[in-house]
Structure 1
Amino acid sequence: MRAVFFKGKDHPLVVQNIKKFRPVKDQVLVRLKYAALNHLDIWVWREKDGLPPEGNILGSDGSGVIEEVGEDVDPLFIGMEVIINPSLEWGANPIVQGNSFKILGYPDNGTFSDYIVISKKYIFERPEHLTMAESAAVPLAALTAYRALFSKARLRSKEKVLITGIGGGAALWLLQFAVAYQGRVYVTSSSEEKLAKAKGLGALGGFNYKDPEWAEKALKESGGGFDIIIDGAGGDQFSKYITLALPGGRIVNYGRTGGNISEIATRQLYWKQISIHGTTMGTRDEFLSMLDFLESRGMKPIIDKTFSLEQAEEAMRYMEEGHQFGKILLKIEK
């Protein structure tokens, strides 16, 4: 079987042939058809070191067919078309993950390979309305978006929502979820093309955050601010969200592509009684609720581009350049 190995910070990714995995106990062996990239893969590739000599197989998202099962798994699982929940060992508290929590792909071997072995509790039947490729584009980004929007921000119909950095997987799921729930959605991007595409998906307006006056324009166009702001970047822009939030507003952050948050307007924070939430991934119940939300509304992911497994490093560099509008896939089955 082929697998894409990460062997150290900034090292080239290596496609190797290794012995096929075998499932034990409650595990299943999934022959993967597609995998999807996430910014988590970039973060691991650029920042992690101290790996074992054999390296680590990247990848959190995948879809495929169960080919073999361990001794504690019903043989009827064989042949099932599945997607994988990459949120592993969440723990007992739905409010926050426990000490054993990890995300598939690091340090556990992930989905950039022909096969993966994983506990049966993390596999779910492929949604009928989605293809194999579309299914691979769902798990990590859609789960992150679902928890951020519904569990943390607690979106209500007709509320005004600002989603930053439109074009990435989680941001696009946030846009689609919020529009489906009758939110009034606005977005930011540094690309006019992406802003136009977002409007085609239901955004009421878009703002180019490279414009020094974008926040003032957003205040005016939105009629005074936003009930909810969901951000995947942090960085220097974050301070503007306190001003943009309406009294009682909720700000949710799920990433740091823009770096650490530099400052907060403290008086506005407490006087407007703004809530700031951090979020990562989600629980099994949220994963199930997310799948139900997709299936009940027939929702599909936005897919930008598909590469072969052997092009994994090219795909990673493409994501790093930030030109994508939608999920980037690896087609694994030849």
Structure 2
Amino acid sequence: MSEDAQYRVYLGAYTGPESAANGIRLAFADDAGRLRCTDTVADSYDPSFLALSPDGGTLFAVNEVARGRVVSFQVGPDGGLTEINSQPTHGSAPCHLSVHPGGRFLLTANYLSGNVVVHPIGEGGVLREACHVVDHSGQGPDKDRQEGPHAHQIVPSPDGRFALAADLGTDSVYVYAFDGDTGHLVLKHEVGWEPGTGPRHLAFHPDGERGYLVGELTSTITEFTFDAKTGEVRPGLVLPLLPADFTGRNLAAEVVVSPDGRFVFASNRGHDSIAVFSAEGFAQLGVVPAGVRGPRHVALSPRGDVLYAAGELSDTVQAFAVAADGALTPIGDPVPSPSPVCLLPA
């Protein structure tokens, strides 16, 4: 890492004939949060979501293809990536993955096939054969997007005792008890959202007692409570992600919570904006231009003082300074990067 760099940011992308991307890129952030992108550090097909092991020594990526795969990479001292191995996801179009807090299991959501899968992680970041696959079932009222289950995310609860899967196709959040010894999932609760919501992604508040879920199809965000003892999820207040006068097409995308727990940020594709909310009292503070087209993903710097927006359609990444009141101010011009769809500050 260069002397003026404060941290690294890995960029996942969609590859293929319509994209100039050919894998995972690496960028370095200076003390102001400005990015300097380098070349591709790992050739990989459609690495559309990325995650790091708890110790930072291994990076995991999906290959969002018809016969889905997950790949593990060793992270070098300079941030370079060396492929370790890969495994099939036993599903189609894996679009999200996360690492269990214990570092021994990788959890993946397969979008097209509507199932979730768990892979053990061996010594040195080696992925073992899948130990558990769970299929979702059901549908929603949107005939184009909800004709069947579409698992869009699976994340562990903060203490690792549960795993929560958001399914866009069934308007549900599935809460699984997670066995930390075997990696098996046992369904405890299936929590229904308003029909047609299209649950996409959720993020926990640092207190572990609440969280926020974005509905892709309704452009809304729902605050929910979470019981760490039982895994029970209770949806609460629902707020819009868009200004009241916007009438165009929009798809909500990502949601993140600031490390201090004061603010929640969510991105809009179509309106191409970022909605800002206060966590205390849960209220919208404003909606600001994302500075990119199609902000599929947003991510915060390790300290939470910079927010990055990945513009899938503009081939750019925009950085924002996060003020003490949650206000976002662009940091310089958007930085070119082909088809960015995931940002992973490390």
Normalised to the residue count of structure 2, the TM-score between the two structures is: 0.27
Q: RCO (CA 8 Å, sep 6+): is it higher in 1 or 2?
A: 1
Q: Normalized per residue, which structure has more helix?
A: 1
Normalised to the residue count of structure 1, the TM-score between the two structures is: 0.28
Q: Normalized per residue, which structure has more strand?
A: 2
